[in-house]
Structure 1
Amino acid sequence: MAEAEQKKGLEGVVIADTRLSRVQGDIGKLTYCGYDILDLAEHASFSEIVFLLWNVRLPNKVELERFKATLVDEMCLPEDELEGMYRYPVSAHPMAVLRTAVSALGLYDPAAEDNSPDANLRKAMRLTAKMPTIIAAWERIRSGKPVVEPREDMGIAENFIYMLKGHEPNQTEIDALNVYLVLLADHGMNASTFTARVVTSTDGDMYSAITAAIGSLKGPKHGGANEAAMRMFNEIADFGNTKEWFEREVKGKGRRIMGIGHRVYKAMDPRATVLKKHAEALCDYTQNCKLIDVALELEELALADEYFIERKLFPNVDYYSAIVLDAIGIETDMMTPLFAMSRVAGWTAHIIEQWHDNRLIRPRGTYIGPVDQVWTSIDER
């Protein structure tokens, strides 16, 4: 039998039908269930996006209020879960903490192994609601501060900043974080979403699938890119001259600019366009955001360079999301967990969708190792 055509990294390979999101990289367009991301970013709350992805339609007013209330009701962590987090080493990376804590959540859910539609919706609600609390609680724990419980009168974005900082956030921060959560909620068959669907295809439970997705998101070639971009911006700021850094590191050494370029987008990432505006607004508000100037100047240098022009390399969502999160006051190593806090909406939606017509995802590899080897005894080797 002839070997199947190989696609490295599964590039261009279609693995499933989906109604959730569509990425049109050639024209720089992203839609959720048919709605343009630019419209959603301007008008929708994160709760509406979660409802949209789980139900493939927008909620009416009564449904939305009920849905938001249920989300907030689910935000508190089990007491044993929180006590367990106090025993984690404070040096642990926040993504490792999130991965561990989410896995542990399954231990406190008697329906963890129930993969029925109703049970999976309940688990999706539980995971989406509790991940912001886990992330905020860990930042408080590792900083030696008391954990702040969520409030019933606040939504997801507002509650997260409140639990993180211990005081009510301003509206500029809330709006920026809400937009961030809306923009990153889903994005086609990306690596972490694919990971979640692979685990689900084995009839695995939702906690296992989300834990695996978090592990996939952690890497710097996926969700960890925002953290890498922020470290790069700080490096350039310390260097003191963006143009000289660009000439030395990028042109001279061939170094990659973190947050510029995308596997799918060959036009401007629409999410980056929206986040750029919010980054500028936040930095104007705080008057304490030196890195926005670095980001703007570096983007201008890259987009005027033949190498980037020929390859159609533009800022992606990680580029300006790093600036937005930094302006809100998010520590650099906490940025990828916030990516997960948004993307869990899409992960759970894909898991639910996978269950509608579930089949084991089992790709093949092309064998390139030695052949016709002859066994020799241990004394003859």
Structure 2
Amino acid sequence: MPKWDKLMLWDMRTFRFYSVKIEHNAVDAMQFRKISPLPMTAPIVDHMTNGLTVLDQGYKNTAAVLSEITHIDGNKGKLQYRGYPVGYLFENHDYEEVCHLLIWGNLPTPEQKRQFRANMAKEMVPDPSVNRAVRAFAPEAPAFLIISAGLAAWAASDPSKIPVHAGDRIYLGKTKEVDAGVYRSLAALMTVTAMTSCHQQKKTFIAQADPSLSPIDNMLIMMGKVDRYGNADKKFSKAINKLWILFADHEMTNSTAAYLHAASSLSDPLSSMVTGISACAGPLHAGAIDLAYKRFAEIRATEGGVKKHMEDVKAKKFRLMGVGHRVYRTVDPRVGYLRDMMSQFQNAVNDNPLLEVAKEIENAVFNDEYFTSRKLSINADLYGSFVYAALGFDVRIFTPLAITARSAGILAHWRESMHQPPCLWRPRQVYTGRVSEDA
């Protein structure tokens, strides 16, 4: 029987037919390069130069990688890591186990988990230059900029890990070096995030990492989130371990793509992380967490409150922060687990005056035909911010904590790319300006 996994194209300019193979419900964009307006007698190089370009502004319908890591079905509201439903992982595992799953493809054995902790602790002690870089900023500076500088200093503290400085392709196809880069990057981001939090709150930062503890526990101790015995507060540890599972990866997000775009040049993973953080901090990405929280405060202080704000949203005077998702066309599968977490901190959550604003917005979104007809609902980032607030974290560190949670998935994608043939991400453009006829 003939296979029907082909796209048949008829170019009316030349009346030529083309066949493009369909695989994984996708087509290879390079196949369109052979669709040329030139006569058949033209050299093949001219056909390729003048071949058809796919215009996809903002990559709205372009896949840049083949990946086995994370699967999302937005219509059914499903999210899976390596074939495991996120709900199963949330209920039965902790964040470091999910890290291992995402990055190395399997849930760790007890020995692998012990080695993961030891490797992380070894890398969580920063060079003094990192602390100097962080402290060079005013405490009021945006946290993502402080963290970016700290990571740049961390990378600079060992130039032998920088491909251009070392004069070689350090990571591509080299599992040992890639894994070392993963540990170093995870440890650096968690440590610099803790260092930044201390700097913003004018606390003394103490770099210490116990190889018997989880990376999250070591980070919390660095941040001063400890019990009376100086151990990581179990309430914080348990909550962050669960919360971060829900945000460990989300397929090819803007920040993941930005990271991989930088890394496609074979840059080192820490420098690429700075690129990813810059993308993540924007108001259309994880920076929306900060904006939503600030908007709630404005709504609470404004006459008319939520009702007036919702009317303004319908009139398109404002964008409704914390509502809707670019992927899910039904309820975000993480929201139910976040609600359960909020209920565990009911008193702290209820003491937050901004939560009442969020609840009123949620009620309007779920009951107003304007929003239900558009299949909009509260997104996970909004609920996550209230868990951080209930735990007593400063609002300025919410987005960096979300970025740190996502680093596991980002580095999983980087590791995957380092075991594939090199491919520099270099998109084309469609020029629409004037062309001079002069030489």
Q: TM-score, normalised by structure 2?
A: 0.80
CA distance in 2, matches of 1:342, 1:281: 21
Counterpart in the other structure of 1:369: 433
1:218 aligned residue (275, 281, 297): 281
Letter in structure 1 aligned against 2:314: K
1:51 aligns with 2:100: yes
The structure, 1 or 2, with the larger RCO (C-alpha pairs under 8 Å, 6+ apart) is 1
CA distance in 1, matches of 2:321, 2:402: 16
> What is the CA deviation profile of residues 305-344 of structure 1, one whole-angstrom value per residue up to 9, with x for unaligned ones?
2222222112222111111111112222211111121111
SS of the residue 2:418 aligns to: helix
2:131 aligned residue (82, 85, 88): 82
Q: TM-score, normalised by structure 1?
A: 0.91
SS of the residue 2:375 aligns to: coil
2:221 aligned residue (162, 170, 175): 162
1:242·1:297 contact (CA, 8 Å) conserved in 2? Answer: no
Q: Which has the higher helix share?
A: 1
Q: Identical aligned pairs, as a percentage? A: 27
Counterpart in the other structure of 1:335: 398
2:343 aligned residue (261, 275, 280): 280
CA distance in 1, matches of 2:432, 2:126: 49
Give the deviation of 1:162 after TM superposition. Answer: 3.0
Worse overlay, 157-166 or 121-130 = 157-166
Counterpart in the other structure of 2:416: 353
2:162·2:267 contact (CA, 8 Å) conserved in 1? Answer: no
Instruction: Count matched residues.
Output: 375
> What is the CA deviation profile of residues 200-219 of structure 1, one whole-angstrom value per residue up to 9, with x for unaligned ones?
22122212211111111110
CA distance in 2, matches of 1:309, 1:54: 37
Structure 1 unaligned runs (5+)? Answer: 376-381
CA distance in 2, matches of 1:324, 1:176: 8
Counterpart in the other structure of 2:115: 66
Give the deviation of 1:166 after TM superposition. Answer: 5.0
1:111 aligned residue (161, 174, 177): 161
Counterpart in the other structure of 2:249: 186
1:123 aligned residue (181, 192, 200): 181
Structure 2 unaligned runs (5+)? Answer: 1-49, 164-169
CA distance in 1, matches of 2:126, 2:315: 50
2:207 aligned residue (149, 156, 160): 149
> What is the CA deviation profile of residues 188-244 of structure 1, one whole-angstrom value per residue up to 9, with x for unaligned ones?
111111111112221222122111111111101111111111112222333376542
Counterpart in the other structure of 2:294: 231
Q: 1:259-270 counterparts in 2 under 5 A? A: 259-270=322-333
SS of the residue 1:89 aligns to: coil
2:185·2:269 contact (CA, 8 Å) conserved in 1? Answer: no
SS of the residue 1:10 aligns to: coil
1:3·1:366 contact (CA, 8 Å) conserved in 2? Answer: no
Counterpart in the other structure of 2:45: none
Give the deviation of 1:171 after TM superposition. Answer: 3.3
SS of the residue 1:30 aligns to: strand
2:249·2:406 contact (CA, 8 Å) conserved in 1? Answer: yes
CA distance in 1, matches of 2:303, 2:340: 24
> What is the CA deviation profile of residues 142-201 of structure 1, one whole-angstrom value per residue up to 9, with x for unaligned ones?
332211334525423333333223533543332221122111111111111111111222
> Aligned-residue CA RMSD in angstroms?
2.2
Give the deviation of 1:253 after TM superposition. Answer: 4.3
Letter in structure 2 aligned against 1:261: G
1:148·1:166 contact (CA, 8 Å) conserved in 2? Answer: no
Query: Could you say if the C-alpha distance between residues 344 and 233 of structure 1 is closer, same or farther in structure 2, counting changes exceeding 3 Å?
Result: same
1:231·1:332 contact (CA, 8 Å) conserved in 2? Answer: no
> What is the CA deviation profile of residues 227-264 of structure 1, one whole-angstrom value per residue up to 9, with x for unaligned ones?
11111222233337654233443234442211211111
SS of the residue 2:334 aligns to: helix
Letter in structure 1 aligned against 2:113: L
CA distance in 1, matches of 2:322, 2:336: 13
Q: Which has the larger radius of gyration?
A: 2
Letter in structure 2 aligned against 1:4: T
1:295 aligns with 2:353: no
Give the deviation of 1:58 after TM superposition. Answer: 0.8
CA distance in 1, matches of 2:343, 2:308: 23
Counterpart in the other structure of 1:23: 72
CA distance in 2, matches of 1:4, 1:279: 48
Worse overlay, 203-212 or 235-244 = 235-244
Counterpart in the other structure of 2:85: 36
1:81·1:104 contact (CA, 8 Å) conserved in 2? Answer: yes
